[in-house]
Structure 1
Amino acid sequence: MGSDRGSNAKERARTSSTTGSTALPRASRVRLDQPRPARKRLLPEYDPEAFGRFSERIARFLGTGRFIVWMTLIIILWVLWNIYAPDALRFDQYPFIFLTLMLSLQASYAAPLILLAQNRQDDRDRITHEQDRKESERSIADTEFLTREIASLRMGLGEVATRDWIRSELQDLVKEMEERRSLFPPVISSERDEGDR
């Protein structure tokens, strides 16, 4: 058994050297019918949908009057605390540099979150518009089909004899028969009848 494997390997090596083939052995080939194994990532992984929903919630909250009221109250309390509190308890002196830093930090996080929420909304709108476009195309195709069907029915009905047309044709035939009867009255002969009996 072991000698068979060794001879097979020697045979493959000999045929590849004689044919000039540079094909890799089967074990080291990349399988195209199977997905690649997952790579190790240095960055932490996250669910983009969950993060997108979270950003939309934040963006919705940032666009409300409640956020403006809370932010205004916090800034007023911040300023009042740092003006009227004892010196030992003040954490941000008069130019309020720390307050400016906090507001800049809040703005630097709010802008990308709002943009992310807008991008998700744009994606939803694009999908909705695409579905609406397909639906309108289907309804246009259905309308055109029904229009063609109605036109063919009208053409077919134009060739069908209606009740009024049949009545008028019968009346014309009756008039024609009456005219013929008046022009050519029937001849009644009694002599013929007697001879036939």
Structure 2
Amino acid sequence: MAETRRPRLDVPRESRRPLLRRPSYDSETIGVFAEQFARFMGTAKFLLYMTLFVLVWVLWNWLAPDQAWDPYPFIFLTLMLSLQASYAAPLILLAQNRQEMRDKVIAEQDRQANARAHADMEFLAREVASLRMAVGEVATRDFVRSELRSLLAELDERAAHADETDQPESGGSPATT
């Protein structure tokens, strides 16, 4: 009897190396290329180049059909433009996705800055309110002057009243107590 070996569950299996390795690429390089490509495709220069290319192609095949290198030139032109569009669309979408990610990061930074500014404004508003309350309890220069004037007037009245009571009446001596 042949004994079958069961795999042990406490020992990791040997990893098999795949026959075909996945190609490695730098996503940042591809993203930068996609953004540059999308920027170029959105320029008047690109539109001018494509228009000139199509015009030359059509004129060459229309005016000199015996020198054309392709028996079905307009079908081949359509195929080339379709191929160009099939590569352009994903590259433009990749550039838009990268821009969207940058916009999200910027929006998050703006939100955080706004939250900090809001907290700072609330803090400053509380500080201004506490200063107003503190200033309300502090005597101002005008208040102190008015109090001193009223005290001076009161002292003048007392002095005048004291002078009146200190003067002897009709030759008599002041009474002592």
TM-score of Structure 1 vs Structure 2, range by shorter chain: 0.7 to 0.9
- Equivalent residue for 1:50, pick from 29, 32, 51: 29
Contact 1:56 1:117 in 2 (8 A): yes
2:127 counterpart letter in structure 1: E
1:73 aligns with 2:52: yes
Are the structure 2 counterparts of residues 95 and 85 from structure 1 closer, same or farther at C-alpha, using a change threshold of 3 Å? closer
- Equivalent residue for 1:155, pick from 124, 128, 133: 133
Aligned equivalents of 2:24, 2:149: Cα separation in 1: 91
Contact 1:55 1:117 in 2 (8 A): yes
Cα RMSD (Å) of the superposition? 2.6
TM-score, normalization: structure 2? Answer: 0.78
Aligned residue for 1:116?
94
1:171 counterpart letter in structure 2: R
1:184 aligns with 2:156: no
Structure 1 residue runs of 5 or longer lacking an equivalent are 1-21, 30-38, 190-197
Contact 2:61 2:73 in 1 (8 A): no
2:57 counterpart letter in structure 1: W
Shift of 1:170: 0.8
- 1:48-76 Cα offsets, whole Å, 9 max, x none, are 11110100100011111111111111111
Shift of 1:79: 1.7
1:141 aligns with 2:119: yes
- 1:106-136 Cα offsets, whole Å, 9 max, x none, are 0111111111111111111111111111111
Aligned equivalents of 1:23, 1:42: Cα separation in 2: 28
1:85 aligns with 2:93: no
Are the structure 2 counterparts of residues 23 and 187 from structure 1 closer, same or farther at C-alpha, using a change threshold of 3 Å? farther
Aligned equivalents of 1:64, 1:53: Cα separation in 2: 17
Give the total of aligned pairs: 155
Ranked by relative contact order (alpha carbons within 8 Å, sequence separation 6 or more), the top structure is 2
Aligned equivalents of 2:26, 2:62: Cα separation in 1: 44
TM-score, normalization: structure 1? Answer: 0.70
Aligned equivalents of 2:74, 2:41: Cα separation in 1: 23
Aligned equivalents of 2:96, 2:63: Cα separation in 1: 42
Aligned residue for 2:173?
none
- Equivalent residue for 1:63, pick from 42, 51, 59: 42
Aligned equivalents of 2:82, 2:9: Cα separation in 1: 60
More moved, 128-137 vs 92-101: 92-101
- 1:66-89 Cα offsets, whole Å, 9 max, x none, are 1111111111111222233363x4
